[in-house]
Structure 1
Amino acid sequence: MKQEPIQCAVLGASGYTGIELVWLLHNHPQFSVKFAFSSSAREAEPISTLYPQLSGRCELILQPWHSDLLPQLAQQVRVVFLALPHEASAELAPQLIAAGLVVFDLSGAFRLIDAQQHLQAYGFKQPKLDAAVPYGLAEFTQLQGDEPLIAVPGCYPTAAALALRPVSHLLTHDSVPIVNAVSGVTGAGRKAQLHTSFCEVSLQAYAVAEHRHQPEMAASIGRDILFVPHLGNFKRGILATIYAQVQSGISAATIEDTLQACYADKPLVRIVNTPPKLQQVVGTPYCDIYCKMHGQQLIFSVAIDNLLKGAAAQAVQLANQYFRLPPSAGLMNPGAVV
């Protein structure tokens, strides 16, 4: 018998990550988007008004969120995806949990375990919850299906951790991996800002060694890292080049075998034979990883779509795991919106 669809809602649906979530869930065989919410400052409107490419394909009404809608939401959906600013998620997630809803949070509100690190990175106190919040790097997370809240990793940490975690035990004890990563401008969100305007953007490093993703990246990999993010004058995608020192006697074959063994049963990570191009991952849920040895120096080239594998697709991948669905369910055919 066909299963009843799992009703869900997306808050922050007007943004780039939010609209990708809506589109993935709209096309998912097991999930159904009951509500798509935007800021309370907006009027209700068809989602295709903001994203005309969805006209005739997705006729959801984008509704302004108000807290008095929470009782109705709790009665009609089971799962809520938060594609909100960090502080907004921090305030709302505990209310949703208290109402009995399962929350997948794409903000940084609950990614860091250390409260002081969180305060330094995000500038506000992290709410205290009754239960520990799992960090949902999908390929390394085992959800039990009873967690009230799952923290979806950031885009840069996803790219770096998927490369480094399988081989971390093969690195020298004092190795501090260097992560140079370039992101498209959609990583800064949909709000108009001068520094992310295509007419203003050049290839430029920013937040050097102080990006808020650095402590998240270090925690996920299990060692200190040096992270230099860059903003590129393209729309979407992340290309990361990563350097790390391996132990004496570790060969390229050992690295290759370790990566292949780690990802043999993980279909959304592909070990590739040539350095990946962004065009081969943009619009897909894949992470493509290339590695090469130079002496005892290990070099990775990693490509993901920052809005999909780095955000919306990973959230859906985690929801698939939560509900015991195949990891790639609903992720292979919809295509990108933005």
Structure 2
Amino acid sequence: MSDISKSSKIRSAVLGAAGYSGAELCALLSANPYFELSYAFASGGRDPEPLASLYPRFARQVDILVEPWQDSLIPELDIEVAFLALPHEASEEVAPKLLAKGIKVFDLSGAFRLKQPELYPQYYGYAHQHPELLEQAVYSLMEWQTEPLGDLVSVPGCYPTACSLALLPVLKAGLVAADCIPVISATSGVSGAGRKASLTTSFCEVGLNAYGFFKHRHRPEIEQNLGRKVVFTPHLGNFKRGILATCVVNLKPGVSAEQVKSAFSQAYTGKPLIRFTDKSPNVADVAGTPFCDLYWQQDGEQLVIMSAIDNLLKGAAAQAMQAANVRFGKPETAGLFAGAVA
């Protein structure tokens, strides 16, 4: 049992708790000794239901009632932080209202990830209604976090997390050729499409296919992180959860294997959620964990980097929990290992 008193815990709410990432957040918060899961909300119009009824695997782990959300509840909320696992437009609408009440917001959607509001119609299909918040939002790719986290935190997307963690060490070290456009091929499990039933994402219908050529909403986010254009091709695979990203770059002439190894070592020494593997990583080894597994192979000036994460955890809920721990001055990995469930 934790010796932290209930009164000293950080009271929190999850909006979008009925979805995959929201449910994972509920589990992580319940396992974190520094946080209290005070409320869990889903879309309005539905009946209250225990989270364990929606997700039986959380029975006896997460004791919370998922209630229907209404904006009229905001004045009554006795919380310090809200985690939004909502569609992009829904997050953009509710976040300013929560911030106005003094509630800190960690948003898992894409509503505040891009700094250029003109990109939203092209990649998200709607015009951003609160462009002033794009500058306020702090993007929390935690292994590369340098800016202090504020009241509005934008949690990175799953594909950008996997790809950026793979490529940033060699880019920041100046090892990649100046004219190189990284080529990224990444495959996600079907949970990345959310819980809503659809023929295109039904497990029985999915084999292995590419989609979103040149127009996927995570492309500009990846380019924003890396500071250069990329060729990004996402794929949908016939497995539940996880992402495997294969990233290919051309190195500058004369870059040695030792320089590449040193770049990764210097970037991630002391980063507890990065693991280097001795063979190409397997999504089965990261599913249900908050880790990012990295592996690379070099042939002359060509470098292939493999990155594997759980799209619902390191690609969503676990990174949000990691960011909240840091924001509130708690141990970075608090609750991440006890709460992760395969």
TM value normalised by structure 1: 0.96
User: Which letter does structure 2 place at the counterpart of 1:299?
Assistant: V
1:309 aligns with 2:314: yes
Contact 2:24/2:340 (<8 A) preserved: no
* The one of 289, 296, 302 aligned to 2:301: 296
* The one of 162, 173, 178 aligned to 2:178: 173
Unaligned 5+ segments in structure 1 are none
Match of 2:286 in 1: 281
Matches within 5 A, 1:206-221: 206-221=211-226
Aligned residues: 334
1:45 aligns with 2:49: yes
In 2: Cα distance, 1:91 partner to 1:107 partner: 12
Residue 143 of structure 1: CA displacement?
4.9
Match of 2:148 in 1: 144
1:229 aligns with 2:231: no
Cα deviation code 1:52-81 (max 9, x no counterpart): 2222332211000011100011xx100000
User: Which letter does structure 1 place at the counterpart of 2:43?
Assistant: S
Matches within 5 A, 1:21-170: 21-73=25-77, 76-126=78-128, 127-129=130-132, 132-145=136-149, 147-168=150-171, 169-170=174-175
Matches within 5 A, 1:239-258: 239-258=244-263
* The one of 188, 195, 198 aligned to 2:193: 188
In 1: Cα distance, 2:119 partner to 2:98 partner: 25
In 2: Cα distance, 1:7 partner to 1:326 partner: 17
User: Which letter does structure 2 place at the counterpart of 1:189?
Assistant: G
Cα deviation code 1:196-245 (max 9, x no counterpart): 11111010000112111000000011111000000001100000111001
In 1: Cα distance, 2:200 partner to 2:187 partner: 15
**Runs of 4+ in structure 1 over 6 Å off:** none
Cα deviation code 1:274-331 (max 9, x no counterpart): 1111111110000000011012011011100000000000000000110122221110
Q: Secondary structure of 1:303's match?
A: strand
Q: Secondary structure of 1:139's match?
A: helix
Q: Secondary structure of 2:47's match?
A: coil
In 1: Cα distance, 2:11 partner to 2:132 partner: 25
Contact 1:143/1:322 (<8 A) preserved: no
In 2: Cα distance, 1:142 partner to 1:99 partner: 27
User: Which letter does structure 2 place at the counterpart of 1:162?
Assistant: L
Cα deviation code 1:246-269 (max 9, x no counterpart): 101111110111101110011101
CA RMSD, 1 decimal: 1.3
In 1: Cα distance, 2:252 partner to 2:283 partner: 31
In 2: Cα distance, 1:232 partner to 1:92 partner: 33
In 2: Cα distance, 1:320 partner to 1:59 partner: 21
Unaligned 5+ segments in structure 2 are none
Q: Secondary structure of 1:239's match?
A: strand
Contact 1:260/1:271 (<8 A) preserved: no
Q: Secondary structure of 1:291's match?
A: strand
In 1: Cα distance, 2:11 partner to 2:146 partner: 23
In 1: Cα distance, 2:45 partner to 2:257 partner: 55
User: Which letter does structure 2 place at the counterpart of 1:336?
Assistant: V
Q: Secondary structure of 2:138's match?
A: coil
Percentage identity across paired residues of the two chains = 48
